[in-house]
Structure 1
Amino acid sequence: MKLSIYYSESTDPSFNQAIEETLLKQANGNNIIAFLWQNQRSVNIGKDQNPWRVCKPKLLRSENINIVRRHTIGGAIYQDLTHTNIALIGPNHYLTQCIIKKILIGTFEPLKLDIAVSNNLECLVENKKISNTALSVSEDYLFFHTTLRVNTSLADISKYMNSRYSILNHQNLERSYTSINQHIRPLEHNELCHYISNSIQKTLKLDVENTVIVNNQHPDWIEFSTIFYRLKSWDWNYGQSPSFIESLETEFSWGHVELKLNVDAGVITKVYYDTTIQYHHMMNDLSQAAIGYPFNAKSVISIVCSLLLTHSEHYDELMALSEWLQQEIA
């Protein structure tokens, strides 16, 4: 059995997720793979999740924070440079949940931090979570991913994530979550990676091959670039969302407007509207023109532009609608 540990110098969440996904595809029965990295500000969502529901895309877009959809199921999590990510991949007859628990406990022994590891492999300090974990076990392989909160602001989690669709609401974040640095001396990412890799080697007792992945330099791996560009795409991060209905409502100087948009796979499929009667013709044409467009701010410009010639008498109203919708839709 061989042990390979990869360290990424990149903080691009799409790049690092592409590394993780490619390593998972390369798994074989003779190799244990570990991958350590951190991401710049981003929201990482599960394969089957809806970003418009679990986080706040409009706010994220305004602050240049990317949403990145994983290739695995699980919950949404806000990340920044105060987090450290660990992935472990290996044949499940060798890489077991018991082994992973030993690796996690061993990581914190040199720091004299007393942690408990739950049955679902969450790390707990004083009964509060310092991690968010995903575990997948197939017939042949085990895939483990955990994000450790090193010095995370719970206010940022509350700011960017949508508690309405979360297991945790904003009020009990502080009762449920904590960060490593709240319990020991300040700890940096590279130092934590050192303790993690030492614990992996000590627990597994295997010769190790260490590889540093240079900042944003694409590895010469089959499928890596294809995966990376998919992870960067709107079609993947938004277009893979389950169907939903978005309700929007506002008051203009010229009247009240209410919209209900059916969105399927990130594309507008139907629009219901309600407004003052003199604008029914304009809004009816807008509702028809919108069908087939992606549910994003860029589409709004195209939709409204298509109506300017036929509804030039309502130029000001259409411009107001356009500005409002671009502000509301991520």
Structure 2
Amino acid sequence: MSKIKIFTAEHHDPWFNLATEDWLFKTFPEDHHVLFLWRNKPCIVIGRFQNPWNECNIKAMETDGVVLARRQSGGGAVYHDLGNTNFTFMSPRNEYDKDRNFGIIIKALEKFGITAEQSGRNDILVDGKKVSGSAFRMTTQRAFHHGTLLIKTDMGKLPQYLTPDKTKLQSKGVKSVASRVANLTEYASALTHDSLCDEIIATFQKTYGESCKVEDLTTERLSKIDSLYETYQLYSDWNWRFGSSPQFAHPISARFPWGGITLDIDIREGKVAGLNIFSDSLSVEFIERVQEVLPGTRYAPEDIRYTLLDGTKDLPPEIQAMAVDVAALVEKEME
């Protein structure tokens, strides 16, 4: 039987936790089974092939300081806060067994008098409500299974930051599926992050018939690892979180005192790749200038506003005012 390793994280930075998970996955000994337990401050974590503009209310997130993170695995968008515990199982590919992993979580929950069951490929349910969702990743030599456990998550935040699909966004990305969810404290009020982690660790060790020291991955320790810092830079970078989105189109229309306008925007790698404009405005100069300056701009309200205003600053005031109108329109449509 392979050896085991168990890690916990002292910090709650979602980008750093995802980077740590990635670093562990790439560097753990190939004959080991690994358990990593961690929590994030308020954030939305989207799947590898998802479109954040489709899944999230980015404006509300920015206002409340809720960060966006993108993981390497597939699946849907989830809200994390300190009431949510994350687990990661890593194994050699030839010894990987997701049902065994699910069994460890379910047996740990039994210690609190909670009867849970595995549902489908991804979820754990209690009384028909989802308390845990999972995603997976495999390479030729390794495999991991990570998931969430809703302990005392602020459920009121979910509808604020996770939005229904925007029908105007013609995206090829994978969309999330809504589920009925519940916190585990509804079934065991005394359950906490620490107490549940203790039971998961004990069950993990019993399952493999081995014991090991639990290693706390402190910021001080991890900051000395150059390859981990490079991975953190990747996860925190706008180009990974937004630019990795699937190609999509966003048609935007409105009517102003100066005329109607429709912008048919094609977004690739998080930037405006193409643009068709339809308008009955008398200002041909304005339309031509927008078509000229907007391609290549990051698909973010502040970037589009800057490009439109800076790109028309040499034109007459009435055209500059039109640019302000269009910038405000795009910002509103991207909320």
Per the alignment, residue 243 of structure 2 pairs with: 239
In structure 2, do the counterparts of structure 1 residues 32 and 240 end up closer, same or farther at CA, with 3 Å as the change threshold?
same
1:135 counterpart SS class: strand
Unpaired segments ≥5 residues, structure 1: none
Deviation digits for residues 109-148 of structure 1 (CA, Å, limit 9, x no counterpart): 2201111123525211012210110123444323110111
Partners of 2:72 and 2:137 within 8 A in 1:
no
Q: Which residue is equivalent to 2:182? A: 178
SS of equivalent residue, structure 1 residue 278: coil
Partner residue of 2:177 out of 164, 168, 180: 168
Q: C-alpha root-mean-square deviation of aligned residues, in Å? A: 2.2
AA aligned to 1:302 is: T
CA contact (8 A) 2:75 2:176 kept: no
For the pair 1:191 / 2:195, whether they are aligned, the reply is: yes
Moved runs in structure 1, 4+ residues, more than 4 A? none
Match of residue 74 from structure 1? 75
> Structure 1 residues 270-279 or 233-242, which shifts more?
270-279
Aligned to 2:327: 322
- Following the alignment from structure 1 to structure 2, what is the Cα–Cα distance between the partners of residues 320 and 326? 10
**CA spacing shift, 1:209–1:308, aligned 2, 3 Å:** same
CA contact (8 A) 2:293 2:307 kept: no
**Would the aligned equivalents of 1:96 and 1:142 in 2 still touch at CA under 8 Å?**
no
The residue matched to 2:264 in structure 1 has which SS?
A: strand
Per the alignment, residue 261 of structure 1 pairs with: 265
C-alpha distance in structure 2 between counterparts of 1:46 and 1:237, whole Å: 10
TM-score, normalization by structure 1: 0.90
Question: Structure 1's 9 and 202: CA in aligned 2 closer, same or farther, altered over 3 A?
Answer: same
Q: What are the residue-to-residue correspondences of 1:34-49 with 2, within 5 Å?
A: 34-49=35-50
Task: Specify the alignment match of 2:231 in structure 1.
Answer: 227
1:158–1:329 CA distance, 2 compared to 1 (3 A):
closer
Pair 207,259 (structure 1): closer, same or farther in 2 beyond 3 Å? same
Task: Give the 3-state SS of the residue equivalent to 2:160 in structure 1.
Answer: helix
Q: State whether residues 103 and 199 of structure 1, in contact with CA within 8 Å, keep that contact through their aligned partners in structure 2.
A: yes
- Separation in structure 1 between the aligned mates of residue 140 and residue 291 of structure 2, nearest angstrom: 49
Q: Is 1:4–1:33's contact at 8 Å kept on the other side of the alignment?
A: yes
- State the 1:163 CA deviation: 2.5
Amino acid at match of 1:26: T
Q: Quick check: 1:129–1:177 contact (8 Å CA) kept in 2? A: yes
Aligned length: 325
Residue 68 of structure 1 aligns to which amino acid in structure 2?
A
Provide closer, same or farther for how the CA distance between residues 128 and 313 of structure 1 changes in structure 2, counting only shifts above 3 A.
closer
Give the TM-score taking structure 2 as reference length.
0.89
Equivalences for residues 13-24 of structure 1 within 5 A: 13-24=14-25
Cα 1:193–1:105 shift into 2, 3 Å: same
**Structure 2: runs of 5 or more not aligned:** 167-174
Q: AA paired with 2:114? A: L
